[in-house]
Amino acid sequence: MLSRKSAVEYLFDDMNDTPAYLYGDIDWPTPMSAMTAILRQGGLNPSQGRYAITIMDCEHFKLQEYGGDLGAPVIEAGAESVERMIRDARLVSSALRNSGVEHEFEIYDENDQVVLVIKNGIEHGAQPDAFGAG
């Protein structure tokens, strides 16, 4: 279950005016080098740092707080347009899907409305109530 708004506000504290953003959940492979390899095998250009992977093919897509005793990694992703955020999400989703990594991405517009959900590579229309229930 995605716990969207509080995590998104934390991640995008310095990106308050971002027109589009993504919140997601990934069945995280460990170690971090395994995720880097998955992304690279999927045709992406990941840059691995000490605690984060930046996907260079995307406008702003990071998998951070990854490794050590930091807990579960988090996704930080935003773009200057919904269209670009969808494009970037599709790229990452394709790489994950091709390696069998389960994932779910919610893409939001500047009004904090869900515009697209991608689950394991399958796109679903906006389902704003689907994640708040339960």
Q: Residue 87: is its pLDDT beyond 70?
A: yes
Q: What is the mean pLDDT of the chain?
A: 83
pLDDT tens figures, 34-67: 999 999 999 999 999 998 999 999 999 999 988 7
Burial of 113 (0-12, 13-18, 19+ CB in 10 A): exposed
- pLDDT (0 to 100) of residue 82: 95
User: Residue 86: helix, strand or coil by DSSP?
Assistant: helix
Model-level pTM? 0.81
d(CA 118, CA 131): 13
**What residue has token string 């988090």?**
74
pLDDT band of 70, cuts 50, 70, 90: low
